[in-house]
Amino acid sequence: MKFSLSWLKDHLETAASLPEICATLNRIGLEVEGVEDPAEKLQGFRTARILSAERHPDADRLQVCCVDAGPGFENVQVVCGAPNARAGLHVIFAPPGTHIPASGMTIKAGKIRGQASGGMLCSLRELGLGDEDSGIAELPADAPVGEDYARYAALDDPIIEIAITPNRGDALGVRGVARDLAAAGLGQLKPWSPPEVVESLSEAETIAGPSWQISHPDCAWVTGRLIRGVRNGPSPAWLKRRLESVGLRPQSALVDVTNYLMIALGRPLHVFDADRLAGPVLTVGHGQEGETFQALNGQDYALQTQDIVIRDASGPQSLAGIMGGQSSAVDENTQNVFVESALFDPVRIALTGRRLGLQSDARYRFERGVDQARVREGLEAATALIQELCGGKAGPVVSAGAEPGWQRQATLRFARLKDLAGLDVSPDEAVTMLQGLGFELLSREADRAVFSVPSWRNDIASPAGILAQAPALDQDRAQRAAENVAAAEAEADLVEEVLRLRGIDAVTPLRLPQRTQVATSALSPEQSRLNLLRRLCAGRGLMETIGFSFVSSQDAERFGGAPAGERLLNPIAADLDQLRPTPLIPLLRALERNLARGLGQEGEAGFFELGPAFGEHGGRMVLAGVRGGQTARRPGRKGHGFGWEAARDDLTAALLAVGVNQAALTTVAEAPAYYHPGRSGQLRQGPKKVLGTFGELHPRLARKFGFAGPVAMFELALDALPRPKPRQGKGRGAPVLSPLQPVRRDFAFLAGPQVQAQDVLKAVRGAERALPQRGMISNVRLFDVFEGPGLPEGMRSLGVEVTLQPATESLTDAQLEAVTRALAEAVEKATGATLRS
């Protein structure tokens, strides 16, 4: 929301400075995003008059001018190359030391072709005020000499831009901002009412004009008035400056009037060319399937039944509350107009605008809620201003629908100011603040006051909205419950209004009560688990990234699909139009860029992300990681890439870190289609519960991403893990370490093709119960798989390394023999594999 300081002071009587106004806006929740003062870049420029202009003796296209620029520059010689420089012309003069905005240069006194030049005569383009560059700017003949140009051209008017939260539709008009500032004690709100309009059309002329008809209750309330005999043309200078100051391009007086009142009052309006409307009735209703509409921006839009349109006998003439149509637009030939001021359903407008991708200032205001009671006032103000600028005779107001029942009350218990906001505000001060915002005091007691909520504050809670959220209750109970909840919310809203007007900085900070002398953990068990996984991945050489939750639909198709329900209607970029099915996509893109630019450490790079993935079951948290490139070469050792083993080790380490029992893990040779079909797998807990997936990127996708070698990657579904339990008591404490050396033994088992290596490993771990010391087996690892000569047909040898960690005494040869027998018996019993001799 942009407005100029002078525009604000049209509605606010104040002596406050610009910094004071900005500070107050920030204090009351209307955050100032920027302040632009056009006069700052025009410092030094002044109005002047050319006294004489003669041809330069040594240059045909230059003139030597004598210029009067006021005190200190009464007779300055300036060499000028503009073809329109002539004696008597009033111009803009830049003395030495002036900075030229368009070129960035600073004017210096000097000589041009041997003639002294003590300044510069400027065009508007050089001042950054237009595109005209055919010569120097020509000011009116009555322009004063020697005056600051920014002040003369009324450009010394700062522009303030504020951020508006979605609930504050009333602040989308200059008058609403002025009302807030006045309530905050920064001046007085000037009284305003629409000028009285004299209806001067004859009965016959009125009957020939349009009337309203509503065909659906979503369309609420519409009003309009016919004005005959208008003369449309350029707007006066003051109106053009107002619109240009807030970034709106002046078009014609009729259009500019509606834009001016929309910014000033927050009231969207529309003007139809009455002679271009077909039939005597304008109908407000829903669109029809297959119907098209050409908007004022020249684009054609396909309508649907949920859209609200204004139509005449020939078809749609306006997308209600969003944009008018090209076929009934006003132009320089317009003589008769029909002015519309209405109230439409904000949800319907939002859905239509979002579906069509159609933005407009009117839509922006209707979505956030416009004043529900002052539809007629906006029409009267527009009529009066149109008659002032364009003439014409006004007819009576025609309308359809009715003003909605917006009236509601809110009660403030003064003690709640302290309970909810921590403010010591006197009841009189609180009442005065709320009255300044437009809340009418209905009654007051010692401990409370009852207010009528103004029509422009749609954000204050109402029972109707809450009642719609409680369909499960019977009607009477629902009504009572809704009223009770609405009363509580309305009271909290009033406390919020007093709080923001007083200022959050006025709240005294209080220390929370301390339960124990030792601070407790500020992290939940889930948060602690995420931090643990981050430290683990970083310790394994992976760098954390945070990627967009959006990817291109093309990438999404490659990694699990791109359902239409997860397609973005208004993406932040053309290649970020789909919710990502996996964090692997941005990770692979990051790996691709780093390897292509040689940014990987010694030719390799690895990344991980803890973030959301979206699919058929909604959003879920996933830990994903990728590795690629080549390790550094060493003496006697070549560099190598990263295969599925690296991804499996990363995934296994993550599962062990969060407490998953390795003996419960099962490896299955299954993975999504974007993994290499022969170099990937899943880690499951039991036969069905998938905890994570590991493997190499499919070669076809690797080529599309531009990878020269294999890429290892893994995914861990955090929602598949058991919920972490909060620590009880003193925690686990320090681990008990054995002072004895571990013993490693290698075993080779002869197994048939149906025997899985993981079953053999599981059987070895399960042999713990038969060993002389419990907890002796500390690690079991598969280190070799052999098939070939020396083995029976169809058999293979599985090499298993077992680490034995005695706790109380060293193992004897007899105990080691017992361990060997126990392991062999356990494996043979579980899988049928036998120990090789």
Structure confidence at residue 467 (pLDDT) = 39
Structure confidence at residue 726 (pLDDT) = 62
Annotated binding residues for Mg(2+), written as ranges, equal 459, 493, 496-497
Pick among 3.40.50.720, 3.30.70.380, 3.40.1180.10, 3.30.410.40: CATH of 743-835? 3.30.70.380
Is 409-467+474-505 the same fold as 2-38+158-189?
Answer: yes
Mean pLDDT of 436-451: 94
207 vs 154, which has greater pLDDT? 154
Q: What residue segments make up the domains of the chain, in order of their start?
A: 2-38+158-189, 40-152, 203-401, 409-467+474-505, 525-632+639-720, 743-835
pLDDT (tens digit per residue) in 12-21: 999 999 999 9
Q: Which residue type, as a one-letter code, is found at position 374?
A: R
Question: Which one, of 620, 632, 605, lies nearest residue 545 by Cα?
Answer: 605
Bridge partners of 748? 799
CA distance 713 to 701: 13
Structure confidence at residue 836 (pLDDT) = 85
Pick among 2.40.50.140, 3.40.30.10, 3.80.10.10, 3.50.50.60: CATH of 40-152? 2.40.50.140
Specify whether the CB–CB gap between 699 and 676 falls below 8 A. Answer: yes
Annotated binding residues, written as ranges, equal 459, 493, 496-497
Phi, psi of 206 (to 5 degrees): -70, -45
753 vs 412, which has greater pLDDT? 412
Bridge partners of 409? 452
Q: Is the model's pLDDT at 370 over the cut of 90?
A: yes
pLDDT (tens digit per residue) in 175-192: 999 999 999 999 999 999
% the chain with pLDDT above 70 = 93
Structure confidence at residue 145 (pLDDT) = 94
CA distance 726 to 721: 15
Q: Is the model's pLDDT at 316 over the cut of 90?
A: yes
CA distance 583 to 625: 9
Q: Is the model's pLDDT at 489 over the cut of 90?
A: no
Write down the architecture of domain 203-401 according to CATH: 3-Layer(bba) Sandwich (3.50)
- In sequence order, what DSSP letters do the residues of 352-415 get, joined into one string? HHHHHT---HHHHHHHH---SS-HHHHHHHHHHHHHHHH--EEEEEEEEE-------EEEEETH
Q: Is the model's pLDDT at 581 over the cut of 80?
A: yes
Question: Which one, of 674, 657, 642, 641, lies nearest residue 716 by Cα?
Answer: 657
CATH of domain 525-632+639-720: 3.30.930.10
CA distance 286 to 695: 54
* Residue 163 burial (10 A CB sphere; 0-12, 13-18, 19+): middle
Write down the architecture of domain 2-38+158-189 according to CATH: 2-Layer Sandwich (3.30)
Which residues, in sequence order, are CB contacts of 344 under 8 Å at separation 6+? 218, 219, 220, 308, 320, 321, 366
Which helix or strand (DSSP H or E) is residue 555 part of?
A: helix 553-558
Structure confidence at residue 600 (pLDDT) = 59
CA distance 810 to 739: 10
Phi, psi of 468 (to 5 degrees): -65, -20
So what CATH class is 409-467+474-505? Answer: alpha beta
Buried b (16+ CB within 10 A) or exposed e, 188-199: ebeeeebeebee
Mean pLDDT of 251-267: 95
Number of H helices, E strands in the chain: 21, 39
Mean pLDDT of 680-695: 89
* Residue 614 burial (10 A CB sphere; 0-12, 13-18, 19+): buried
Split at pLDDT 50, 70, 90, the class of 199 is: confident
616 vs 323, which has greater pLDDT? 323
Split at pLDDT 50, 70, 90, the class of 471 is: very low
CA distance 284 to 220: 9
Please calculate the CA angle 128-132-137 and round it to the nearest 5 degrees: 80
